[in-house]
Chain A
């Protein structure tokens, strides 16, 4: 036997994948199934098969369409901001200025703080008239005592800021690690040719980061709705549904209105859309990984 053969390898792989199949594929299929049923947890009686009726209801549900728009806003605005600011920060950190080592460590924080605690951190920071924002306003002589969470547009803005806060430092560190392979001499050469700091990064760093930008964007899009705990703590989806993305709407239906069938319908629809958008890309990454290694 040689270690370069496949012999015996399936005994490593199969037990895990069979277990994972049982605890992941089964539930996903079950959720699909539940979305085709009528289940009323508040009334006795077995579930009824209703086909695509829940989906028909969904298509006519204005609250769902509102949450679809909120979902788009909560995915694309924060991800665009995270990528743009992350790029700028990576370029700044690449310069090895005084204190950048400490900055890198501080940058880890938002990525590891429990999201529910992040939500509380922001909620406490903007307590009307008594939070850190009001304190900062006092220092700079501006009145910052508005109740930001009471109005739809400002509540959405707060959630977006919290989402940018959570994701940006991590994105910056990812880009920075991709930039590590670029030697300082490349920038020096550009500088000698008269390029400014910004130009040198535009022409050297950006092309280098291109693949990383694409990958990071896809993963940030897939993970954008992981801010569920932040929304739960900050706004509860309100006011007037202004911060209610689809996964939150599914939660409300399943666990407040006890309509698990409708909750399943919502999340399955979302899953299908996301997979249609991102699956080809994920498969591509997996293929590359499979080829690259050995």
Chain B
């Protein structure tokens, strides 16, 4: 049991940190409902002239809506590509007993640890030449560079958890290895696959550097397009706040949905 003073200390630390964590987010939330008067009020006000005008304007802005659609399509495409690459490889690595295994795993981690800029430069040159510049396909390809290794690393743990005896039974019944994988192992790893997919989706949704450098207009994603509101004629904070809330909402919901697995999977190799 905690002594009273220690309990107070713990509550104090928790309250302070929660205030630090939430204050800026709540300020953006409240700003998203402010009109121009409230945004620039001096001294500032917590609740200004309450209005839905910012959301109405952002949601009727065709450029922003297109970028939002791009974010959805690129993230979905990245999930698909990453899973197609990662599922068989993770299964194979999980079952593999060979000295090559440590080598392949090291390589997966090293690729994940490489800075994004090192990929941007050659992809920028190559995409300009093969016409993948400013396309959703191009963005999916370079996102996959990062997300496929991440997905492999996460999924291995989930395949490791499937007892070999169950697969053994399928093999005895005459199934090939691929049939066993598709009919037995995949369904059993379903929770892991869903959380890995959601994590890849979040990564792709949040990705900034690649979208900034490899798209201009057509394929620009929401995380970059929101900067359009920081234009030369001055920053439109009301719209930025509303757009920011709109962009962070889907990933926040996803994160809460997989919170049980989130720490385990997002850590991706970071375990004690």
Contacts of B241 in A (CB 8 A): 124
Residue A95 lies at the interface, judged by CB distance under 8 Å to chain B = yes
Cα–Cα, bound, A115→B247 (Å): 11
Residue A206 lies at the interface, judged by CB distance under 8 Å to chain B = no
Chain B, residues 62-91, CB within 8 Å of chain A (1/0): the string is 000000000000000000000001101101
Contact between A4 and B164, CB atoms less than 8 A apart = yes
Contact of A114 among B85, B141, B156, B208 (CB under 8 A): B208
Contact of A89 among B13, B41, B111 (CB under 8 A): B13
Contacts of A93 in B (CB 8 A): 14
Q: How far is the CB of B102 from chain A (nearest CB, A)?
A: 4
Contact of A286 among B108, B237, B254 (CB under 8 A): B108
Residue B209 lies at the interface, judged by CB distance under 8 Å to chain A = yes
Contact between A117 and B247, CB atoms less than 8 A apart = yes
Contact A114/B205 with A12-B181, A28-B118 known, Cβ cut-off 8 Å: yes
Chain A, residues 24-49, CB within 8 Å of chain B (1/0): the string is 10111011001000000000000000
Residue A68 lies at the interface, judged by CB distance under 8 Å to chain B = no
Contact between B237 and A127, CB atoms less than 8 A apart = yes
Q: Which of B25-33, B49-57, B129-137, B189-197 lies at the binding interface?
A: B25-33
Contact A111/B255 with A24-B145, A228-B208 known, Cβ cut-off 8 Å: yes
Residue B240 lies at the interface, judged by CB distance under 8 Å to chain A = yes
Contacts of A222 in B (CB 8 A): 113
Contact between B20 and A165, CB atoms less than 8 A apart = yes
Cα–Cα, bound, A132→B1 (Å): 38
Contact A117/B164 with A108-B259, A135-B46, A233-B227 known, Cβ cut-off 8 Å: no
Residue A241 lies at the interface, judged by CB distance under 8 Å to chain B = no
Cα–Cα, bound, A8→B96 (Å): 10
Contacts of B25 in A (CB 8 A): 109, 113, 121
Contact between B124 and A260, CB atoms less than 8 A apart = yes
Residue A257 lies at the interface, judged by CB distance under 8 Å to chain B = no
Residue A69 lies at the interface, judged by CB distance under 8 Å to chain B = no
Chain B, residues 86-130, CB within 8 Å of chain A (1/0): the string is 101101111111100110111011110111111111111110000
Cα–Cα, bound, A229→B244 (Å): 14
Contact between B115 and A174, CB atoms less than 8 A apart = no
Contact between B251 and A113, CB atoms less than 8 A apart = yes
Among B113, B181, B252, find the residue whose CB has the most chain A CB atoms closer than 10 A: B113
Q: How far is the CB of B18 from chain A (nearest CB, A)?
A: 6
Interface residues in A188-233 by Cβ distance below 8 A to B read: 191, 196-197, 209, 211-212, 215-216, 219, 222, 225-226, 228-229, 232-233
Contact between A267 and B115, CB atoms less than 8 A apart = yes
Among B1, B24, B141, B176, find the residue whose CB has the most chain A CB atoms closer than 10 A: B24
Residue A142 lies at the interface, judged by CB distance under 8 Å to chain B = no
Q: Dominant SS at the B interface?
A: helix
Cα–Cα, bound, A136→B227 (Å): 26
Number of interface residues of B (CB under 8 A): 117
Contact between A121 and B125, CB atoms less than 8 A apart = no
Cα–Cα, bound, A75→B117 (Å): 17
Interface residues in B130-184 by Cβ distance below 8 A to A read: 141-142, 144-145, 148-149, 152, 156-157, 160, 164, 167-168, 171, 176-178, 180-181
Contact of B21 among A99, A107, A275 (CB under 8 A): A107
Cα–Cα, bound, A293→B178 (Å): 21
Contact of A2 among B42, B171, B226 (CB under 8 A): B171
Cα–Cα, bound, A12→B55 (Å): 47
Contact between B125 and A260, CB atoms less than 8 A apart = yes
Contact between B21 and A110, CB atoms less than 8 A apart = yes
Cα–Cα, bound, A136→B26 (Å): 13
Contact of B27 among A26, A132, A233 (CB under 8 A): A132
Interface residues in B224-272 by Cβ distance below 8 A to A read: 224, 226-227, 230, 237, 240-241, 244, 247-248, 251-252, 254-256, 259, 262-264, 266-267, 269-272
Residue A271 lies at the interface, judged by CB distance under 8 Å to chain B = yes
Contact of A131 among B10, B27, B177, B251 (CB under 8 A): B27
Chain A, residues 265-293, CB within 8 Å of chain B (1/0): the string is 00110110011001100110111011101
Contact between A34 and B125, CB atoms less than 8 A apart = yes
List residues of A whose CB falls within 8 A of some B CB.
1-4, 6-13, 15-17, 19-20, 23-24, 26-28, 30-31, 34, 85, 88-89, 92-93, 95, 97, 99-100, 103-117, 120-122, 124-125, 127, 129-132, 134-136, 138, 165, 168-170, 173-174, 177-178, 191, 196-197, 209, 211-212, 215-216, 219, 222, 225-226, 228-229, 232-233, 247, 250-251, 254-255, 260, 263-264, 267-268, 270-271, 274-275, 278-279, 282-283, 285-287, 289-291, 293-294
Sample of 9 further A-B pairs with CB below 8 A, known A117-B244, A197-B2, A211-B272? A12-B89, A20-B111, A34-B122, A100-B14, A106-B21, A110-B21, A114-B208, A115-B206, A136-B23
Q: Which 3 A-B pairs have the closest CB atoms?
A: A12-B92, A132-B27, A16-B89
